[in-house]
């Protein structure tokens, strides 16, 4: 089903956002807000736009990169050269009408351009400025370039990813960027809620390294109080068993998570070995952790006797969490994905259906929606400047002639 129509009511349809910067972290925050109805105006350099317009695999038919359609979805594009004094002046005028500004430049950049929060909030005390960077707005590393790969490493994720006998590996997506964008969106909503009470905006500081660090569970106190440094363990978590990838007869792997006592008992029953649940080596969570390899070997011996989907079906009926390792074709073909509309088709700029992940989380009364793919560079420049700043045709032409827009 192709979904392009705007929802009649969305949670953020009264919020105006200016999104500055480029790549993933800041723009993902803008994507989340736009998905739920905010008017997100993507401010891009004239002529080239956000680098994300060129990232990722290209469409087989048109040759156009595809990623921009997702991270730019539901946004409007305005071209504006923020390195020119006139462009900075236009941005200051726009900021008077905005609820939120998202920026992910290095700390100090907005200040050099005369666009600091102190300056912009003078004319708009309710403004919320969301600042997304690698290392935050202060501290000795704040001015360093901070790509996700580096910040994921410093935040603890890279050290734990992979196998203990090999160098750490990278997760296959820029998860640090996305986490920083998600925390930025969460911070935005908190700041807007506080503004409802006080009338005053504030700065939201979302760094990539701290967004990753926030996901590190009990890693810090485990070292500080128990002297334990978590190490890479490959496809399982040390002490959590059985919970791993298990080989099936047809060459596929099945992910099974049966580390809770009652769930483990159901797994043993499904395997035709109910007595294992009472064995002293496996009867408790801690015992299974101490005999992790042995229990994994027992489960793997059973899964190897069956095709992967058959294992999943047996365990689903038994109430044991299990699933296959999905790639994109599996997701597009899965009936649960279809029933939930987890993937939605949207018309691209050529009118052809383009599948992409749907808006999440789900709201029962005022859901978000994917209304359109990422806009053409500068597609809404004149409309926005006319609507927001009341600029006439001559003023717009002068800005264009001076290459400000």
pLDDT tens column, 53-70? 999 999 999 999 999 999
* E strands, 4-135, in order: 16-19, 39-44, 75-79, 100-103, 128-133
SS3 145: coil
State pLDDT tens for residues 202-219: 999 999 999 999 999 999
**Angle formed by the axes of helices 175-198 and 25-35, nearest 10°:** 50
Which residues are CB-neighbours of 179 under 8 A, at least 6 positions away?
Answer: 208, 211, 212, 214, 215
pTM: 0.93
Average pLDDT rounded to a whole number, residues 130-137: 97
Q: What's the pLDDT tens digit per position in 279-291?
A: 999 999 999 999 9
Calpha distance 272→240 (Å, rounded): 22
In this predicted structure, what is the pLDDT of residue 6? 45
Question: What pLDDT band is residue 5 in, cutting at 50, 70 and 90?
Answer: very low
Mean pLDDT over all residues of the chain?
96
Would residue 37 be called left, alpha or beta, if left means φ above 0 and alpha means ψ between -120 and 50 degrees? left
Q: How many other C-beta atoms lie within 10 A of the C-beta of residue 32?
A: 25
Rounded distance, CA 356 to CA 368, Å? 14
Pairwise CA distance, residues 311 & 27, whole Å: 41
Strand 100-103 and strand 128-133: the pairing is parallel
Q: Which residues of 162-192 are buried (b: 16+ CB within 10 A; e: fewer)?
A: beeeeeeebeeebbbbbbbbbbbbebbbebb
How far are the Cα atoms of 42, 388, 391 from residue 395, in angstroms, in the given order? 21, 13, 6
CA distance 347 to 328: 19
In this predicted structure, what is the pLDDT of residue 8? 58
- Of the two residues 4 and 58, the one the predictor is more confident about is 58
Neighbours of 62 (CB within 10 A): 12
Angle between helices 85-95 and 381-389 (to 10 degrees): 60
Rounded to an integer, the average pLDDT of 364-378 is 97
| 3 pLDDT higher than 60 | no
What percent of the chain is predicted at pLDDT more than 90?
A: 97
pLDDT band at 9 (very low <50, low <70, confident <90, very high): confident
The CA–CA distances, whole Å, from 273 to 127, 189, 194, 266 equal: 63, 51, 56, 10
pLDDT at 2 over 60: no
Is pLDDT above 70 for 30? yes
Burial of 221 (0-12, 13-18, 19+ CB in 10 A): exposed
- Span 36-53, mean pLDDT? 97
Structure tokens that stand for 270 in this block: 């499904």
Provide mean pLDDT across the span 311-324: 98
265 — phi, psi (to 5°)?
A: -60, -40
pLDDT in tens, 225-255: 999 999 999 999 999 999 999 999 999 999 9
What is the arithmetic mean of pLDDT over 355-360?
98
Rounded to an integer, the average pLDDT of 381-394 is: 97
Element (H, E) at 216: none
Q: What is the pLDDT of residue 21?
A: 85
Task: Give the active site residue among 35, 177, 205, 296.
Answer: 177
Q: Is 99 in a helix, a strand, or coil?
A: coil
Asked whether 399 and 32 are in contact (CB, 8 A), the reply is no
Predicted confidence at residue 219, as pLDDT, reads 97
CB 98 within 8 A of CB 92: no
- Give yes or no for residue 1 having a pLDDT over 80: no
Determine whether 307 is an active site residue: no
């Amino acid at each position: 089903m192709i979904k392009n129509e705007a929802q009649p009511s969305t949670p953020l349809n009264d919020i105006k956002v200016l999104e500055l910067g480029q790549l993933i972290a800041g723009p993902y925050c803008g994507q989340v807000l736009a998905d739920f109805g905010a008017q997100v105006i993507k401010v891009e350099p004239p002529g080239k736009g956000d680098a994300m317009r060129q990232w990722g695999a290209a469409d087989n038919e048109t040759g156009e990169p595809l990623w921009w359609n997702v991270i730019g979805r539901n946004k409007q594009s305005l071209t504006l050269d923020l390195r020119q004094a006139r462009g900075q002046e236009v941005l200051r005028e726009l900021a008077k009408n905005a609820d939120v500004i998202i920026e992910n430049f290095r700390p100090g950049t907005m200040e050099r351009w005369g666009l600091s929060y102190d300056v912009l909030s003078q004319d708009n005390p309710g403004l919320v400025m969301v600042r997304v960077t690698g290392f935050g707005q202060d501290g000795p590393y704040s001015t360093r370039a901070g790509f996700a790969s580096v910040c994921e490493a410093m935040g603890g994720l890279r050290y734990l990813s992979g196998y203990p006998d090999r160098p750490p590996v990278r997760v296959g997506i820029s998860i640090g960027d996305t986490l920083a964008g998600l925390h930025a969106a969460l911070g935005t909503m908190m700041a807007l809620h506080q503004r409802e009470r006080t009338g005053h905006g504030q700065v939201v500081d979302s760094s990539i390294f701290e967004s990753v660090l926030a996901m590190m569970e009990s890693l810090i106190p485990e070292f500080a109080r128990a002297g334990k440094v978590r190490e890479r363990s490959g496809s399982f978590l040390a002490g959590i068993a059985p919970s791993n990838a298990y080989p099936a007869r047809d060459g596929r792997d099945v992910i099974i998570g049966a580390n809770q006592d009652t769930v483990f008992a159901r797994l043993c029953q499904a395997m035709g070995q109910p007595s294992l649940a009472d064995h002293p080596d496996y009867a408790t969570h801690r015992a299974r952790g101490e005999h992790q390899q042995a229990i994994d070997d027992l489960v793997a011996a059973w899964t190897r006797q069956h095709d992967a989907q058959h294992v999943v079906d047996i365990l689903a009926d038994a109430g044991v969490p299990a699933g296959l390792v999905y790639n994109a074709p599996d997701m597009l073909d899965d009936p649960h994905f279809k029933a939930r509309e987890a993937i939605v088709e949207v018309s691209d700029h050529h009118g052809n259906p383009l599948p992409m992940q749907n808006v999440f989380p789900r709201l029962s009364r005022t859901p978000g929606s994917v209304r359109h793919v990422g806009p053409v560079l500068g597609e809404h420049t004149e409309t926005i400047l006319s609507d927001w700043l009341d600029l006439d045709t001559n003023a717009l032409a002068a800005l264009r002639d001076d290459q400000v827009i």
